[in-house]
Chain A
Amino acid sequence: MSDIAIRVDNVGKYYRINTQMDYYPTLRDTLVDMAKMPFRVIKYGLPTSHETIWALRNVSFEVKTGEVLGVIGRNGAGKSTLLKILSRVTEPSEGYAEIHGRVGSLLEVGTGFHPELSGRENIYLNGAILGMKRSEIQHKFDEIVDFSGVEKFIDTPVKRYSSGMYLRLAFAVAAHMEPEILVVDEVLAVGDAEFQRKCLGKMSDVANEGRTVLFVSHNMSAILRLTRETIVLDKGKMLMRSPSNEAVDYYLSSGLAMEGERRWQAEEIPAGAAPFQPIAMRIRNAQGQIAESVRSIEPLTVEVEYQLESAVNDLRVGVYLMNTHGEVIFTSFDTDDPIQYEQYSVRQAGHYVSRCTIPSDLLNEGRYMLGVNASIYRLKRFFQDEHALSFNVDATGAPGKQWLENRQGFIRPRLDWEILNA
């Protein structure tokens, strides 16, 4: 059985959701409950005002040693829960799984980094947290520093690092722990392009060395490039496991909202999003109707509807536009304009719609995805859904349509051509 790296058998995990959010039981409540209903307590245990939701249920699969398996699914599909179970952060509520070998997790790089400590000190600390021996860290120290590219600042406290440097150092440590099984979750969504290339390179190195990789991503092109097989999760269930191109196709065509509107269910919104509560995201055509398909020669409107439970300073709500491979075409926020930015430096509690217009003659024909992000720059990310909504652009009447060819590129601008007969 030595060629099996991970075996997951009917694994499930439920969470108790308190009816009131962000509520910790106090000792007093427990004592009061016990005093009020002593018999009930003895008979049934402490009263539970909880609802349970299954974040993951009946998931079974095997990963062979050396295999790179992709995991895709929407926010709240159970991807993170699966990885947390496999990396032993949390226990499954039911089922059984076995892991052959050391698991290295790139779930959250930089875990345990302390801002007051220098880069050097953090390498040792973080390495130890990741399960490396001191001798192992010493042995790889130069390589780690080299990979991170922060050698000049290695004795500076990391609180003085830029976020990019911090991330590079953190990733460098995690990338050098040489686990038998590597679990990667979305690290590639951060950092500059060059760094991302480095990360992907490191990951394929790991895979080529015959080690096992579980790769969770929203980046479909990375999934297609790095994995041969992919599983699709939705609402805690495993929908399919198949060659990656089929899984990605299936995911893009069925997994996403098709109606031109995406509404978020309560269980899709992480608890950390408060006070930002996303409600819906919509595409409207030039006539103001909610539409799944729009024309490239007409402007279209994107709107994000949300509720603020309390006032937020410097909130920005924005959209990403991506192609179906997850490559970002542009990012735009509702307070990009300096005047808007001043005007909305504080956003009071209430119900909001942030709306923007994508001008006509901009997008080429094809399928696009919209993501949403609500954050305070460098301070807090309330909510992010990279695959909130997908829509079609129809290019009928667009420039160059007299030829039946497919035009390359994401944009299809109507340019002023002059033809000079000189």
Chain B
Amino acid sequence: MAESVLTTKPKGEVVILRPSRGWISLNLKELWTFRELVYFMTWRDIKVRYKQTVLGAAWAILQPLINMIVLTFIFGNLAKLSTDNIPRPIFTFTALLPWGLFSKALTDAGRSMLTNRSMITKIYFPRLIIPLSSVLGGLLDFLIQFVILLMMMFYYHITPTQAVWTLPFFLLLSLITAFGLGLWLSALNVLYRDVGYVLPFLTQVWMLLTPVAYSAKTIPLKWQFLYAINPMVGVVEGFRWALLGAQPPSMTMLWISFFISVVLLISGLYYFRRMERTFADMI
């Protein structure tokens, strides 16, 4: 081999490798430098999902529609729960949108480390990208469903209220909650495969604790504060308020929800980063 001539100095920065101990920094700056990978991973998840199914994007519409029909029938015709005088199908569908986004994001993020294990054991990139792109992967479905919702609103002659600008906030709240908890679950799933079994159960119970098929007003006043611990209550109520003109969610409850989801996010980030160093060895 010929003597190589040094023409270029290393342009990248110096990476120090040493055992890390205790709590480590989140290193969000590095996540930013890998932002294109977040985009590509999200794009991959969406693309593969649509390619592998016969109906493809139609599932994004069918799933909440079927759910809506079932829930409308059970809770309208059998349980006869109040809907604040909003037509029941659209009352349910409006709730199913953020709920579907949340439960899919939570489930996908929770499983994400295991589905991507072959990458984790072979190559380095900030691991946070894996649960993050799983959460973002549901947004396209959400957008498609939102168009359907707008069509339904047109059909029922409902115009969005002035508060429609608050929608992105509620959307963000559900994403933060899903991401925060998803971080916890995905990291735990590396250590304990039980998480995979807990997830369907968790989302099922959580849906019952969220006013998807009923109105949050059904819950007695003395339980409302406890109820607000579930951030999805505020999200669902917020969607109905902003789009359908239902009763606004109480600010106190929203603050509790917001606080809870931020705690989940920050604790999740730190827990994930702490566990990250063992992922490649444990998975």
Residues of A within 8 A of B (CB): 2-3, 5, 11, 15, 24-28, 30, 65-68, 84-103, 105, 107-108, 111-112, 114, 116-117, 121, 124-125, 128-131, 133-134, 157, 180, 204, 207-210, 225-228
* A91 and B124 contact, CB distance less than 8 A: no
CA gap between A180 and B6 in the complex, in Å: 12
Which residue among B4, B121, B192 has the maximum number of chain A CB atoms within 10 Å of its CB? B4
* A227 and B20 contact, CB distance less than 8 A: no
* B123 and A210 contact, CB distance less than 8 A: no
In the A-B complex, the 8 residue pairs with the smallest Cβ-Cβ separation, listed nearest first, are A88-B124, A101-B10, A66-B4, A128-B40, A101-B12, A97-B17, A100-B10, A108-B122
Give the shortest distance, in Å, between B271 (CB) and chain A (any CB). Answer: 15
* A125 and B44 contact, CB distance less than 8 A: yes
Asked whether B14 is an interface residue with its Cβ less than 8 Å from the other chain, the reply is yes
* B48 and A65 contact, CB distance less than 8 A: no
CA gap between A88 and B34 in the complex, in Å: 15
Closest to B51 in A: A116
Asked whether B9 is an interface residue with its Cβ less than 8 Å from the other chain, the reply is yes
* B4 and A93 contact, CB distance less than 8 A: no
Which chain A residues lie closer than 8 Å to B251 at the CB level?
none
Asked whether B15 is an interface residue with its Cβ less than 8 Å from the other chain, the reply is yes
**Given A25-B192, A92-B18, A124-B40, A5:B48 Cβ within 8 A:** no
Which residue among B1, B125, B193 has the maximum number of chain A CB atoms within 10 Å of its CB? B1
Give the shortest distance, in Å, between B278 (CB) and chain A (any CB). Answer: 8
Q: Which of B4, B6, B43, B280 contacts A90 (CB 8 A)?
A: B280
**Given A94-B19, A96-B17, A180-B12, A87:B6 Cβ within 8 A:** no
* B8 and A210 contact, CB distance less than 8 A: yes
Q: Which of A3, A15, A97, A125 contacts B40 (CB 8 A)?
A: A125
Which chain B residues lie closer than 8 Å to A125 at the CB level?
40-41, 43-44
What would be 23 A-B contacts, judged by CB atoms less than 8 Å apart? A11-B17, A24-B193, A65-B9, A65-B10, A66-B5, A66-B6, A68-B1, A89-B123, A92-B19, A97-B17, A98-B17, A100-B12, A108-B122, A111-B123, A116-B52, A117-B44, A117-B51, A125-B40, A128-B36, A128-B40, A180-B10, A210-B6, A228-B1
**Given A66-B4, A116-B48, A87:B15 Cβ within 8 A:** no
Which chain A residues lie closer than 8 Å to B120 at the CB level?
89
Question: What 0/1 readout, one digit per residue, does chain B (1-36) give for beta carbons within 8 Å of chain A?
Answer: 110111111111011111110000000000000101
* B194 and A26 contact, CB distance less than 8 A: yes
Asked whether B119 is an interface residue with its Cβ less than 8 Å from the other chain, the reply is yes
Known: A30-B192, A208-B4. 19 other contacts (CB 8 A): A25-B191, A26-B193, A87-B123, A88-B15, A90-B281, A91-B18, A91-B19, A91-B20, A92-B17, A100-B10, A100-B14, A103-B15, A111-B122, A112-B118, A117-B51, A121-B47, A130-B123, A131-B34, A210-B8
CA gap between A226 and B1 in the complex, in Å: 6
Give the shortest distance, in Å, between B193 (CB) and chain A (any CB). Answer: 5
Asked whether B277 is an interface residue with its Cβ less than 8 Å from the other chain, the reply is yes
CA gap between A375 and B60 in the complex, in Å: 42
Question: What 0/1 readout, one digit per residue, does chain B (237-267) give for beta carbons within 8 Å of chain A?
Answer: 0000000000000000000000000000000
Asked whether B37 is an interface residue with its Cβ less than 8 Å from the other chain, the reply is yes
Question: What 0/1 readout, one digit per residue, does chain B (100-131) give for beta carbons within 8 Å of chain A?
Answer: 00000000000000000011111111000000
Closest to A95 in B: B18
Closest to A91 in B: B277
Which chain B residues lie closer than 8 Å to A98 at the CB level?
14-17
**Given A180-B11, A207-B4, A117:B122 Cβ within 8 A:** no
* B124 and A89 contact, CB distance less than 8 A: yes
**Given A93-B19, A116-B48, A121-B47, A111:B119 Cβ within 8 A:** yes
Interface residue tally for chain B (C-beta within 8 Å) = 46
Q: Which of A88, A128, A133 contacts B17 (CB 8 A)?
A: A88
Which chain B residues lie closer than 8 Å to A96 at the CB level?
16-18
Which chain B residues lie closer than 8 Å to A97 at the CB level?
16-18
* B118 and A111 contact, CB distance less than 8 A: yes
**Given A114-B48, A125-B44, A128-B37, A2:B125 Cβ within 8 A:** no
Closest to B124 in A: A88
Give the shortest distance, in Å, between A58 (CB) and chain B (any CB). Answer: 15
* B48 and A129 contact, CB distance less than 8 A: no
Give the shortest distance, in Å, between B4 (CB) and chain A (any CB). Answer: 4
Give the shortest distance, in Å, between B42 (CB) and chain A (any CB). Answer: 11
CA gap between A46 and B14 in the complex, in Å: 36
Question: What 0/1 readout, one digit per residue, does chain B (184-200) give for beta carbons within 8 Å of chain A?
Answer: 00000001111100000
Give the shortest distance, in Å, between A375 (CB) and chain B (any CB). Answer: 19
**Given A15-B281, A98-B15, A129-B119, A5:B10 Cβ within 8 A:** yes
Which chain B residues lie closer than 8 Å to A99 at the CB level?
14-15, 17
CA gap between A250 and B43 in the complex, in Å: 51
* A24 and B4 contact, CB distance less than 8 A: no
* B4 and A87 contact, CB distance less than 8 A: no
**Given A89-B121, A89-B124, A117-B48, A133:B6 Cβ within 8 A:** no
Which chain A residues lie closer than 8 Å to B119 at the CB level?
111-112, 129
Which chain A residues lie closer than 8 Å to B118 at the CB level?
111-112
CA gap between A125 and B47 in the complex, in Å: 12
CA gap between A90 and B277 in the complex, in Å: 7
CA gap between A208 and B36 in the complex, in Å: 30
**Given A108-B123, A180-B12, A28:B18 Cβ within 8 A:** no
Give the shortest distance, in Å, between A303 (CB) and chain B (any CB). Answer: 34
CA gap between A349 and B118 in the complex, in Å: 29
Question: What 0/1 readout, one digit per residue, does chain B (48-59) give for beta carbons within 8 Å of chain A?
Answer: 100110000000
Which residue among B52, B120, B124 has the maximum number of chain A CB atoms within 10 Å of its CB? B124
Give the shortest distance, in Å, between B145 (CB) and chain A (any CB). Answer: 24
Closest to B9 in A: A2
Closest to B198 in A: A27
Which chain A residues lie closer than 8 Å to B17 at the CB level?
11, 85-86, 88, 91-92, 96-99
